[in-house]
């Protein structure tokens, strides 16, 4: 038997009725209490039923009388004295605030939005992370003051979300959320956001982690973000109708810093999806869409200016690729007419057909897996030919060695006034023609149609890669190193967009809403204030408290009196 018997830990608590502190402060208080001498564990929560169940599961069962609007503080200590000493230090520990701009003292903070806006009148945004049952009222007050809302809070009733977003839309304002975790506006991250470089890609997404995954991958690929706008998880539902998503697409379509738009979300309601697709397809900028969990294509698909892909990585990669295309100089008068492809390689011809059929139809070929020409010697509409196929090589050398057939066919296609672009490949290497570019150049120089050439080879090839490219470009050809890049140029010239019903006009959200400098008022999580200040934004933290000390009946009465007044 031990000389000293082990004593059972002592569990003691205190209740602060109607006391509100943001969850970061509560977390810090809990950790500080648990680190005190003689304290085994601590719990600091709003006394909801769920939170009390969690305390009980951690052997912090408190028998205190407390309601969901009360702050419950529980410690488990070695002795009665240690427990009482810990609880006696709660007020002092609560005065240790998270860092913010200038380390402002809590007593110096404004208590209302109106007062905060007197301190920071050019604040365009109000960040809200107070408990959900109060968040909608704070958001409504922000809209009434003509401010946009970043609504991090969850548990906001659906009917209030619809009302808030409808009011915002009618006033040319944005409500991001509820349950919006991420945004990057004017180069400043709101909520949970990664530090990424500025760039030409604008993002719209319901999922904060989805936005973060895509913006991070875009950053790793060497590009950057113009804006990232979070809509909240319910925005694409039938009840909400995609209000914020549509506003965001419209805003990014007008944003001069955005060249490509990305749209992320869970599968939308079908009617909402139709509206979004109409707006995306009619945009003058490419839109890359990925709806999590929806049926997705095996390869990227395009309808109008809307591209659909199957993974978050593909979203980022395609968006970066499209920014390169969007940066290309388009001719003042795009080429009209059919595309004719004359390839010496079957694989390159096949890849060309797969890419071309996203924006031109129909395409005729001389291989059986696609629409096959009755007479391969006569092209029709859009045509892509493998000139190395059996029907062209009987009694003659392969076109990589002997270009006579391709030269004749090049002249034939150019003589057709309905042809706008002729696409060729030039494949270098041992055993191939000694100077394919030199032989093609005189015909290309005299061509009426635009000639696009894909050159495959290396500097060590006997023909000389740089010399071949220079010869073709001097003749007037548009030279690329991959089929994909060649097709992107061709699409700018002859892409055929389907006719779509024009989406309705929206009250314009001013571009200044998402431009620097950023100034904001923050309700709730003080870590959001600290993050904004660290990024160079001006921000005022409001010392918010639940109306009427959390007494819902009294708060409802006060609200009715305010409305009548």
Tell me: the pLDDT tens digits for 517-549? 999 999 988 889 999 999 999 999 998 887 755
Taking the mean position of all CA atoms in its chain, how far away is CA 127? 20
pLDDT reported for residue 563: 53
In CATH terms, the fold of domain 338-494 is: Rossmann fold (3.40.50)
Higher-confidence residue: 119 or 311? 119
Query: What does the alpha-carbon distance between residue 563 and residue 565 come to, in Å, rounded to a whole number?
Result: 5
* Residue 246 burial by Cβ neighbours in a 10 Å radius (0-12, 13-18, 19+): buried
**Among 15-24, 330-339, 500-509, whose mean pLDDT is lowest?**
330-339
- In the predicted structure, residue 561 carries a pLDDT above the cut 70: no
Q: Are 407 and 342 in contact (CB under 8 A)?
A: no
| Mean of pLDDT values over 189-210 | 91
Domains 120-327+521-540 and 338-494 equal at CATH topology level:
yes
Q: Predicted confidence band at 498 (pLDDT cuts at 50, 70, 90)?
A: very low
Portion of the chain with pLDDT greater than 70, in percent = 88
**10-94: what fold?**
Alpha-Beta Plaits (3.30.70)
- Joined tokens for residue 64: 């205190």
Question: What is residue 414's three-state secondary structure?
Answer: helix
Listed residue (236, 219, 240, 220) closest to 228, CA to CA: 219
pLDDT at 298 over 60: no
> How many angstroms separate the CA atoms of 12 and 79, rounded?
10
Weakest-pLDDT range from 100-114, 282-296, 389-403 = 100-114
Sequence spans of domains, the chain: 10-94, 120-327+521-540, 338-494
Which residues does residue 340 pair with via DSSP β-bridges, in sequence order? Answer: 383, 422
* pLDDT for res 549: 59
Give the pLDDT of residue 103.
44
Region 62-75: mean pLDDT is 83
Report whether 243 contacts 507 (CB < 8 A).
Answer: no
Which helix (DSSP H) or strand (DSSP E) does residue 341 occupy?
Answer: strand 338-343
* Per-residue pLDDT band at 325 (split at 50, 70, 90): low
Q: What is the pLDDT of residue 1?
A: 42
Tell me which DSSP letter residue 1 carries.
-
Q: Are 447 and 422 in contact (CB under 8 A)?
A: yes
Closest CA to 245 of 277, 201, 200, 198: 277
Q: Which of the four pLDDT bands, split at 50, 70 and 90, describes residue 550?
A: low
The answer, yes or no, to whether residue 564 has pLDDT greater than 60, is: no
pLDDT at 262: 96
Average pLDDT of the chain, as a whole number: 86
Lowest mean pLDDT among 19-23, 381-385, 504-508: 19-23
177/206 Cα distance (integer angstroms)? 8
**Tokens at 213, concatenated:** 């995954």
Q: What is the mean pLDDT of residues 484-496?
A: 79
- pLDDT on residue 438: 97
Second CATH level (architecture) for the domain 120-327+521-540? 3-Layer(aba) Sandwich (3.40)
| 558 has pLDDT over 60 | no
Q: Give the pLDDT band of residue 358 (cuts 50, 70, 90).
A: confident
CB 253 within 8 A of CB 284: yes
Pairwise pLDDT comparison (196 vs 328), residue with the higher score = 196
Beta strands in 457-536 (DSSP E): 478-480, 519-523
Cβ burial of 495 (10 Å; 0-12, 13-18, 19+) is: middle
Q: Which span out of 18-32, 200-214, 268-282 was modeled with the highest average pLDDT?
A: 200-214
Confidence band (pLDDT; 50, 70, 90) for 47?
A: confident
pLDDT band for 299, please (50, 70, 90 cuts).
very low
Confidence of residue 324 (pLDDT cuts 50, 70, 90): confident
21-39 pLDDT per residue, tens = 777 788 889 999 999 999 9
End-to-end Cα, the chain, rounded Å? 75
Q: pLDDT at position 503, please? A: 67
Residue 23 is predicted with a pLDDT of 74
In the predicted structure, residue 343 carries a pLDDT above the cut 80: yes
E-strand ranges in 428-560 read 450-456, 478-480, 519-523, 538-542
- The two three-digit tokens of residue 198, written as one number: 């500025």
């Amino acid at each position: 038997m031990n000389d000293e018997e082990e004593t059972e830990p002592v569990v003691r608590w205190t209740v602060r009725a109607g006391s509100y502190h943001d969850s970061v402060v509560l977390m810090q208080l809990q950790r500080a209490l648990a680190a005190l001498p003689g304290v085994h564990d601590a719990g600091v929560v709003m006394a909801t039923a769920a939170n009390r169940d969690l305390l009980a599961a951690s052997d912090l069962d408190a028998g205190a009388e407390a309601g969901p609007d009360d702050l419950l503080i529980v410690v488990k200590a070695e002795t009665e004295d240690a427990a009482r000493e810990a609880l006696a230090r709660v007020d002092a520990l609560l005065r240790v605030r998270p860092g913010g701009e200038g380390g402002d003292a809590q007593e110096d903070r404004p208590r209302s939005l109106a007062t905060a806006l007197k301190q920071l009148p050019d604040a365009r945004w109000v960040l809200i992370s107070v408990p959900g049952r109060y968040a909608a009222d704070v958001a409504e007050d922000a809209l009434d003051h003509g401010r946009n809302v970043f609504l991090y809070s969850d548990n906001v009733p659906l009917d209030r979300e619809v009302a808030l977003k409808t009011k915002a839309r009618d006033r040319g304002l944005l409500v991001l959320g509820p349950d919006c975790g991420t945004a990057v506006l004017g180069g400043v991250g709101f909520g949970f956001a990664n530090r990424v470089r500025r760039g030409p890609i604008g993002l719209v997404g319901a999922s904060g982690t989805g936005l973060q995954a895509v913006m991070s991958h875009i950053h790793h690929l060497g590009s950057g973000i113009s804006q990232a706008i979070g809509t909240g998880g319910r925005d694409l539902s039938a009840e909400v109708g995609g209000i914020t998503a549509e506003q965001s697409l419209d805003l990014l379509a007008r944003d001069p810093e955005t060249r490509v738009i990305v749209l992320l979300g869970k599968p939308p309601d079908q009617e909402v999806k139709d509206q979004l697709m109409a707006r995306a397809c009619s945009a003058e900028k490419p839109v890359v869409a990925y709806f999590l969990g929806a049926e997705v294509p095996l390869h990227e698909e395009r309808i109008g200016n809307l591209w659909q892909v199957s993974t978050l990585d593909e979203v980022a990669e395609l968006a970066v690729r499209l920014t390169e295309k969007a940066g290309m100089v388009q001719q003042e008068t795009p080429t009209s007419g059919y595309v004719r492809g004359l390839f010496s390689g079957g694989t390159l011809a096949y890849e060309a057909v797969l890419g071309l059929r996203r924006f031109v139809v129909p395409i005729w070929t001389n291989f059986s897996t696609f629409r096959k020409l009755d007479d391969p010697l006569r092209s029709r509409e859009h045509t892509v030919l493998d000139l190395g196929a059996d029907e062209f090589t009987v009694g003659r050398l392969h076109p990589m060695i002997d270009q006579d057939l391709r030269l004749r066919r090049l002249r034939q296609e150019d003589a057709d006034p309905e042809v706008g672009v002729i696409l060729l490949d030039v494949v270098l290497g041992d055993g191939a023609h000694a100077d394919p570019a030199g032989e093609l150049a005189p015909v290309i120089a005299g061509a009426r149609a635009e000639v696009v050439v894909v050159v495959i080879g290396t500097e060590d090839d006997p023909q000389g890669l740089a010399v071949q490219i220079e010869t073709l470009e001097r003749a007037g050809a548009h030279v690329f190193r991959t089929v994909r890049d060649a097709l992107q140029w061709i699409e700018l010239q002859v892409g055929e967009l389907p006719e779509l019903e024009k989406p309705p006009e929206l009250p314009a959200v001013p571009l200044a809403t998402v431009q620097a400098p950023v100034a904001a008022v923050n309700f709730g999580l003080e870590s959001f204030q600290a993050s904004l200040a660290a990024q160079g934004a001006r921000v005022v933290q409001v010392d918010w408290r639940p109306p009427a000390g959390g007494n819902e009946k009294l708060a409802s009465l006060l609200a009715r009196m305010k409305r009548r007044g």
